[in-house]
């Protein structure tokens, strides 16, 4: 592999490797080879984490963008459970974006991002799963749930969450579908995929040896 590397070795001096990097590194004393390969691997991990988290944040942005398009361009009014799913996507996207900008090198910090992102995904899975359940098993006598503005004005946030999760009205309607799946079903699949992606992005190691 051709390339250029300039970095410190054990005695405090610097070494410059030009041309065939693998052959040049193999010619160095073992302690120096370990230091160079370690620096290269750290840079790979740093770049890989940032790239994966940026892709995840972009996916969340696209999902939210389409939700807004469906509301304002296609006239599909969101129910309270839809609003909660948007909040979960926004929270997950924010975690992914902050993680990409931060791009930590330590495993402990990457684990923290994976945990927070995983919790946001699980929250979305719970809300979307509830929404799918209401659509698959609609109540026998549905009654329209109060609007979002009314819920916020007349209840605490805990009360809003309780009422939204207990909604049985317009949340059971299916106004949109693609490939036989409703929008909440697609949201559920996206939350599962993004949850796996954030853990994958935080813990996968792309080292020089291909691991």
pLDDT tens, residue by residue, 121-155 = 999 999 999 889 888 887 765 545 566 666 677 77
SS3 track for 5-71 = EEEECCCCCEEEEEEEHHHHHHCCCHHHHHHHHHHHHHHHHHHHHHHHHHHHHHHHHHHHHHHHHHH
Does residue 60 carry a pLDDT above 80? yes
pLDDT at 166: 58
The confidence score (pLDDT) of residue 148 equals: 62
Instruction: Kindly tell me if the per-residue pLDDT of 116 is higher than 90.
Output: yes
Q: What is the mean pLDDT of residues 159-165?
A: 68
Q: What are phi and psi of 134, to 5 degrees?
A: -65, -30
pLDDT of residue 208: 35
- Report the pLDDT averaged over residues 188-199: 93
* Residue 45 clears pLDDT 90, i.e. is over it: no
Classified as helix, coil or strand, 151 is helix
Residue bearing the bigger pLDDT, 111 or 201: 111
Task: With cut-offs at 50, 70 and 90, classify the pLDDT of residue 194.
Answer: very high
For residue 171, the 8-state DSSP code is G
Topology of domain 45-203, CATH:
Bromodomain-like (1.20.1550)
Residue ranges covered by each domain of the chain: 45-203
What's the predicted TM-score (pTM) here? Answer: 0.67
pLDDT-derived band at 30 (thresholds 50, 70, 90) equals: low
């Amino acid at each position: 592999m051709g390339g250029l590397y300039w970095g410190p070795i054990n005695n405090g001096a610097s070494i410059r490797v030009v041309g065939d990097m693998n052959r040049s590194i193999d010619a160095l004393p073992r302690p120096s080879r370990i230091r160079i390969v370690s620096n290269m691997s750290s840079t790979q991990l740093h770049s890989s984490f940032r790239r994966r988290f940026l892709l995840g944040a972009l996916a969340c942005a696209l999902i939210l963008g389409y939700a807004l398009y469906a509301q304002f361009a296609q006239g599909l009014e969101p129910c309270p459970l839809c609003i909660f799913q948007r909040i979960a996507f926004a929270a997950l996207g924010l975690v992914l974006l902050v993680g990409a900008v931060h791009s930590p090198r330590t495993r402990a910090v990457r684990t923290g991002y994976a945990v927070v992102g995983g919790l946001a995904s699980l929250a979305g899975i719970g809300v979307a799963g509830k929404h799918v359940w209401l659509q698959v098993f609609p109540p026998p006598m549905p009654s329209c749930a109060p609007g979002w503005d009314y819920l916020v004005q007349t209840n605490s946030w805990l009360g809003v969450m309780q009422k939204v999760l207990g909604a049985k009205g317009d949340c059971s309607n299916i106004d949109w579908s693609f490939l036989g799946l409703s929008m909440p079903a697609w949201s559920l699949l996206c939350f599962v995929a993004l949850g796996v992606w954030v853990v994958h992005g935080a813990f996968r190691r792309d080292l020089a040896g291909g691991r």
